Structure 1
Amino acid sequence: MGSIECIATLLGLACVALAARRSLWTFPCGIASVTLLGIVVFEARLYSDALLQAFFVVANVYGWLNWSRSTDAEGAVSVKHMPASMRLRWLAGTLVASLVWAAFVHRFTDASYPIWDALIAGTSVAAQLLMARRRIEHWWLWIAVDVASVPLYLAKQLYLFAALYLLYLALSVWGLIDWRRAARRAARGIVTD
């Protein structure tokens, strides 16, 4: 385990914990973490994952700007649920895009586990975009990503990242609970956390 992997891991944990608490500081931690993680997974020939980390840099900037405009007087970021029809569109779009990407990566690279890697990448893209848009359902996607990522990283002998995704799983469950609680409070007109 290298120092880049360790630093990426610590920053990643901070990022998810801050996201669960709806803190704007999640984004600078996220940018630093995914930049370092991108280096590690590229060297492990997980090209979909490496490209995903580059996307995350851009998505974190977008999320930072969006969340900055969506805070209340106390600094809390408002969150909301998606309508059922929007959930179905996101699910279908994520699945199709992931499978198209998997076919491309399988055909044109020497990627390890191209379908598995692409499904994780596609779901992560959807989750990150929904997080930037403050949609509670993004936590369910992160939970799925975390569950799928642990065995992939174990197969690639990236043990610290596998452990990290177990911690991400716990933090994602916490984030889901916290965001749902915040949405219920907002619906009842309670403004403070």
Structure 2
Amino acid sequence: MNWLNSEAFTVLDQHIMWADMIGNIFGLVALALGWRRNVWTWPVQFLAGLILFGAFYGHLAGSAGKQAVVVVVALYGWWQWQWQRGKGQGKGGDLTVRFATWRERAGMIAAAAVGTVAVALLFEAFPKLSWDPWPDAYIFVGTIVAMYAQARGMVEFWFAWLLVDLVGVPLNFANGYAFSGFVYVIYGALVLWGLRDWWLRSRATAVLEGAHA
């Protein structure tokens, strides 16, 4: 499997690695499935996380840690969406989405802030873990928050991904993972599209529930 960490081709003096390319293609598919609220987003995210972990391991601790989180949370998300579908909250493999409560939002923001500081201090205490402690910590913790929100069917999931990508894109380019940087431009478009779709569906669900109240 050493070929995964070898160069596939070069574009604009940027070296594209096989693992970086394949993992991000799977990531795009997973994001598209997540936008469609399809439970198969989680197995695809699991596979993408495994491949990208191998690509980043030993170079970008925060990005590698992000993929480790993707792998673990993908299992949780798969269980959570299957459970909600079993309760009749989703139809045909889809999930009913909603906005988080203010209490949930406050909890996620607090967890992101405290977690980022704690992980960054850990990276600073052990420099071999990360070349860029604070951005790596931000990406690592932000990914946990984003995927938790996705697993719970919260519209805020898309906002969280946008905030993670604002740091992740330049960091990938700066560290030679050009394909990740290019793909995140497409991610951005899908995230905005997915945000619009989930937003509208959450409002439609709220209106329907109000009519039945």
TM range (shorter): over 0.9
2:69 maps to 1:47:
no
Q: Post-superposition, which runs of at least 4 consecutive aligned residues in structure 1 deviate over 6 A? A: none
Verify the 8 A CA contact 1:35 1:57 in the aligned structure 2: yes
In structure 2, the partner of 1:166 is 185
2:197 maps to 1:178:
yes
Bigger-Rg structure (1/2): 2
Verify the 8 A CA contact 1:19 1:26 in the aligned structure 2: yes
Paired with 2:83 and 2:198, the residues of 1 have a C-alpha distance of 18
In structure 2, the partner of 1:35 is 50
Q: Residues 41 and 73 (structure 1 numbering): CA distance in 2 closer, same or farther, change over 3 Å?
A: closer
The count of corresponding residues between Structure 1 and Structure 2 is: 189
Identity %: 29
1:74 is displaced (CA, Å) by: 4.0
1:178 is displaced (CA, Å) by: 0.8
Calculate the aligned-residue CA RMSD, in Å: 1.5
2:111 pairs, out of 81, 84, 93, with 93
Q: Show structure 1 runs of 5+ residues with no match.
A: none
Aligned AA (2:40):
W
Whichever structure has more strand as a proportion of its residues is 2
2:87 maps to 1:69:
no
Paired with 2:91 and 2:178, the residues of 1 have a C-alpha distance of 42
In structure 2, the partner of 1:123 is 142
In structure 2, the partner of 1:25 is 40
Verify the 8 A CA contact 1:9 1:161 in the aligned structure 2: yes
Could you give the per-residue CA deviations for residues 96-118 of structure 1, whole angstroms, max 9, x where no partner exists? 11111011112113312110111
Q: Show structure 2 runs of 5+ residues with no match.
A: 1-15
Paired with 1:176 and 1:133, the residues of 2 have a C-alpha distance of 15
Paired with 2:92 and 2:30, the residues of 1 have a C-alpha distance of 21
1:52 is displaced (CA, Å) by: 2.4
